[in-house]
Amino acid sequence: MTITVKTFARLADAAAALSTERGARFLGGGTLVMRAVNETDPAIETIVRSTDPSLRHIAISSARVELGAGLTMAALLAERELAFLHPVARVIGGPAVRTAATVGGNLFAQSPYGDFAAALLALDATTTLAGGFGQREVALEELLVRRDQGVSLVSSVAFRRPTTRTFRFVKVTRVHPKGVSVLSIAAQLPLMSGRVNGARIAYAAMGRTPVRARAAERALEGRPLDAAAVAPAIAVADEGTAPIDDAMASAWWRRQILPVHLRRLLLGDGQG
Ligand SMILES: Cc1cc2nc3c(=O)[nH]c(=O)nc-3n(C[C@H](O)[C@H](O)[C@H](O)COP(=O)(O)OP(=O)(O)OC[C@H]3O[C@@H](n4cnc5c(N)ncnc54)[C@H](O)[C@@H]3O)c2cc1C
């Protein structure tokens, strides 16, 4: 089957093509799209790509971080100011995958992928969507809910910069150092007078898309991060999740180990 590749200098033109061309798929780093092409996925008829420099733009201030959707994991790892995100970017595939894998592509990667998306969800990120007639902002959480319903081109993601040591991440895998997730947990845990104030916790591989752990977040509110105080949050760790069954782990196993790793993460007991 013939596949047409269309390259646009402007993101707006790429977005327009994506919504009008038959069987169009945007090409980020291609770690998943090219695999699908090589497997002759009949749904892909047109590859849309863009050389717009805004896709690789990084803006970091003391309060806010904005990342172009075309930034690769390797590019993020080269940015010292993004050190809090390095534990996430570093565990996405091996070096070859990280050289190509983009932030934007991670938001659309099917479970068990989506480690970076889970981190962004915990950071309460907003996405900017490019359209033929301008841009609009959509909360990442909302994008994830309806990402499979239509084609949107994400130009960037932005979030408030977390205060020192409030962001935590763990990826549980069976194949070290570069296996895919059994599950991943990202958490932003701001403290006020030693008590949790506005926790956000997100999981990857615990549902069709990365999901928030709302029940656990609520149970943590106003509590210190000690063994007794986090127990109610651990008890509801899997509420609202619908883990996948795959070659890495069954849904049952994912539910069994989630509380163990959430507890370790909250207590700062090392990585899973
Ligand atoms: C060997 C291997 C190991 C991997 N390990 C991991 C892992 O450990 N953790 C993990 O999370 N993922 C992993 N992945 C999956 C994948 O590499 C990453 O999720 C990566 O971030 C996807 O980005 P990409 O740019 O390569 O996406 P692409 O393959 O280019 O695209 C993936 C999907 O996203 C869409 N897309 C891409 N960019 C945009 C955009 N800006 N706007 C809208 N849609 C867009 C594409 O149209 C496509 O549907 C792995 C993949 C491989 C092949």
Question: Do residues 219 and 232 lie in contact, with contact meaning Cβ atoms separated by under 8 Å?
Answer: yes
Mean pLDDT of 249-255: 97
pLDDT tier for residue 272 given thresholds of 50, 70 and 90: very low
As given in the structure block, the two tokens for residue 73 are 């994991």
Average pLDDT over residues 87-91: 97
Amino acid at 208: R
Q: What is the pLDDT of residue 269?
A: 82
> What is d(CA 55, CA 78) in angstroms, rounded to the nearest whole number?
17
How do residues 21-31 score in pLDDT, each as one tens digit?
A: 989 999 999 99
Q: Does the beta carbon of 102 sit less than 6 angstroms from any atom of ligand 1?
A: yes
pLDDT, the chain, mean: 95
Which pair of tokens denotes residue 214? 């709302």
pLDDT band at 131 (very low <50, low <70, confident <90, very high): confident
Sheet holding 126-131, edge to edge: 58-60, 64-68, 153-160, 126-131, 134-139
Q: Is the C-beta atom of 24 inside 6 A of ligand 1?
A: no
> Which pLDDT belongs to residue 177?
76
Q: Is the CB of 109 under 6 A from ligand 1?
A: yes
**Residue 119 contacts residue 204 (beta carbons within 8 Å):** no
Q: Give the whole-angstrom CA distance, residue 120 versus residue 23.
A: 28
pTM attached to this predicted model:
0.97
Residue type, 28: G
Give the containing element (helix H, strand E) for 263. Answer: helix 251-267
Q: What's the average model confidence in pLDDT over 35-61?
A: 96
User: The tokens of 256 are what?
Assistant: 């069994």
For residue 77, the surrounding DSSP H or E stretch is helix 73-77
Kindly report the length of the chain.
272
Q: Tokens 């994991």, residue?
A: 73
Atom of ligand 1 nearest to the CA of 32: 29
Alpha-carbon Rg of the chain, whole angstroms?
19
Atom of ligand 1 nearest to the CA of 171: 8
Residue 118 and residue 50: Cα distance in Å, rounded?
Answer: 25
Mutate to test the pocket of ligand 1, among 92, 107, 183, 244 (most ligand atoms within 8 A of CB): 92
CB 176 within 8 A of CB 208: no
- Using the Cα atoms of residue 65, residue 132, residue 141 and residue 43 in order, give the sign of their dihedral: negative
Residue whose CA is closest, atom 44 of ligand 1? 153
In whole angstroms, what is the distance from residue 250 CA to residue 197 CA?
Answer: 34
User: Is the CB of 104 inside a 6 Å radius of any atom of ligand 1?
Assistant: yes
- The pLDDT of residue 271: 47
Query: From CA 11, how far away is CA 16, in angstroms rounded?
Result: 9
